[in-house]
Amino acid sequence: MLTIIASVCILCGLASPARWRLPQTRAQRLAGALRAIAAALWLFAVPAFILKMLGGLADQSTVVYGWPGPLLATASAAALAAAILSWSAAALTPFAWAGQDGWSAWRKLRLTGAILAFSLFGMLLAILGAPQPWNP
């Protein structure tokens, strides 16, 4: 749930005109872009998984005969891409914190919190085996 809330907040924040006027370093710009793409992918993958599971509860024959199906394969690929982007942004986070000429401390904390939520959710899904589109 935290991943969905963070994704919605990030995508709503992209529409803010004040965001584009603030100074940012190259690492901050790259980490923010990776976070935004990951947010969009998480916002697709999580509801797609939920829809597939609800469809399986309604008609169990689709689980047996239609597994994994295009929706689940696409959601799995999106989750894998979102996890990789989240981990890449997490690797850039120390560089985004460096220096005083870019974002404010509050903006750096928001970036770190979102990246942490995305990365942990990606690790949880990886442990559970969800982001594996090649392994139905």
pLDDT tens across 16-55, in order?
776 666 777 788 888 888 999 999 999 998 888 888 778 7
Q: Which amino acid is at 15?
A: A
Q: Which amino acid is at 80?
A: L
CB-count burial class (<10 Å; 0-12, 13-18, 19+) for 12: exposed
* pLDDT above 80 for 96: yes
| CA angle (124 as vertex; 46, 45 as ends), nearest 5 | 15
Give the integer Cα–Cα distance in Å for 102 and 36: 18
Give the integer Cα–Cα distance in Å for 69 and 110: 36
Please state the pTM of the whole predicted model. 0.81
pLDDT tens across 70-82, in order?
878 888 889 889 9
